[in-house]
Amino acid sequence: MKFRDEYRDGAAARRLADAIAHTVTRPWTLMEVCGGQTHAIVRFGIDALLPPEITLVHGPGCPVCVTPEAYVDKAIEIADRAGVILCSFGDMLRVPGADGDLLAAKSRGADVRVVYSPLDAVAIARADPARQVVFFAVGFETTAPANAMAAVQARREGLTNFSMLVSHVLVPPAMRAVLEGPGNRVQGFLAAGHVCTIMGLAEYQPIAALYGVPIVATGFEPLDILEGVYLCIRQLEAGRAEVENQYSRAVTTAGNRAAQAVMAEVYRVIPRRWRGLGDIPDSGLGLSGAYADLDAERRFGAVVDGDDAAGECISGLVLRGERKPPECPAFGGRCTPERPLGVTMVSSEGACAAYYRYRGAA
């Protein structure tokens, strides 16, 4: 497939790895803030090609992983009601709430449906006007505009049986939270390419300047990630902390204006609680006043943030890049994808699940 296979070329990857090895003179720790990149790094073994000086840590880049337990509980509570169809992306179905997950709700009779696109949820509402259809809208900036279009479409069609349970999160505030953390060891970021496709690069300039960290907008294929690492290391070695764009085939400085316009109409920026990171100001999106009537929390009651059960799971430290999954004593033994202790082992994009799947239990 064009724009995929050529970015997985082994010889080119080794040349980039050589260039990185030639450039690096001392240890550096880089963080990617995107589960898709985490997945590619572990799946292709990109970290194994890097010189020992470079440590890649994996940030809070999985929107499913950071969705608070209280929202999962709310989704389950709504799904369990008679006359309701709850629509969700497949990723959310196995994410545990305080007591079970959406798959368990489905197995006891709740009508839970996996959708590929948010517009599929609107189509389900259109086809079944007698039932309330609730779309569980999660995701980062990449997914937010598509989910916003579901609201726009439902409004245009005058659907009264469609609403959204919104738990959207924003990446730059999470990067700040990681950098502010007392145990922070991140010295440079690979910014999530598709988030940048939507939002552009402007938000990253102040972070790079304030914290003195290079930030490189980076794609998802092996050559993209290696080039992102190369550009980041080159900046670090030269004492620079700038915003660079590795993923220029899909990212422009201004971002996607059409998507930003729909987001501005449908959402407003709100504080959000992140699983593992806690409360972060201005780090989430909720429905704007104009779309408040489509808010599932208005129809089915507000989500009340509680304390997420912590137990033995160290997913908070993993999401902040302070620990790698194999450094957890429960990893691969008491905690596996079949019997997960925490959400980073549940979602296929979670760092723990990626390590377990591609590196094995040991």
Does the protein bind other proteins through residue 159 (CB under 8 A)?
A: no
Query: What DSSP line would sit under 243-301, residue for residue?
Result: EEES-TTT--SS--HHHHHHHHHHEEEEEEEETTTEEEEEEEEEE-GGGGGGBHHHHH-
Of residues 55-94, those binding other proteins (CB under 8 A): 61-64, 89-91, 93-94
Task: Tell how strand 278-287 and strand 111-114 pair up.
Answer: unpaired
Does the protein bind other proteins through residue 185 (CB under 8 A)?
A: no
Provide the 3-class DSSP secondary structure of residue 84. Answer: strand
Of residues 119-148, those binding other proteins (CB under 8 A): 119-120, 139-140, 142-143, 145-147
Of residues 293-352, those binding other proteins (CB under 8 A): 336-338, 347-349
CA distances from 352 to 76, 140, 188 (A): 24, 20, 22
One residue of 18, 265, 293, 305 binding other proteins per CB under 8 A:
18
Does the protein bind other proteins through residue 256 (CB under 8 A)?
A: yes
Amino acid letter, 359: R
One residue of 125, 164, 195, 287 binding other proteins per CB under 8 A:
195
Task: Tell how strand 132-139 and strand 188-192 pair up.
Answer: unpaired
Dist. CA 210–CA 120, nearest whole Å: 42
Does the protein bind other proteins through residue 249 (CB under 8 A)?
A: yes
Does the protein bind other proteins through residue 116 (CB under 8 A)?
A: yes
Nearer to other proteins, 92 or 303 (CB): 92
Nearer to other proteins, 69 or 349 (CB): 349
Nearer to other proteins, 182 or 360 (CB): 360
Specify whether the CB–CB gap between 90 and 62 falls below 8 A: no
Does the protein bind other proteins through residue 223 (CB under 8 A)?
A: yes
H or E element, residue 180:
helix 171-180
Task: Single out the residue of 73, 66, 62, 61 nearest to residue 306, CA to CA.
Answer: 73
Does the protein bind other proteins through residue 23 (CB under 8 A)?
A: yes
One residue of 136, 162, 189, 230 binding other proteins per CB under 8 A:
230
Does the protein bind other proteins through residue 359 (CB under 8 A)?
A: yes
Amino acid letter, 152: V
Q: Please tell me the count of residues contacting other proteins according to CB under 8 A.
A: 91
Q: Which region, judged by CB under 8 A, interacts with other proteins, from 110-118, 200-208, 297-305, 308-316?
A: 110-118
As measured in angstroms, the least distance from the Cβ of 172 to other proteins is: 14
As measured in angstroms, the least distance from the Cβ of 74 to other proteins is: 20
As measured in angstroms, the least distance from the Cβ of 208 to other proteins is: 19
Residue 204 backbone zone (phi > 0: left; psi -120 to 50: alpha; other: beta): alpha
One residue of 16, 112, 134, 351 binding other proteins per CB under 8 A:
16
As measured in angstroms, the least distance from the Cβ of 298 to other proteins is: 24
Structure tokens at 179: 């950098």
Dist. CA 348–CA 38, nearest whole Å: 10
Residue 117 backbone zone (phi > 0: left; psi -120 to 50: alpha; other: beta): beta
Does the protein bind other proteins through residue 286 (CB under 8 A)?
A: no
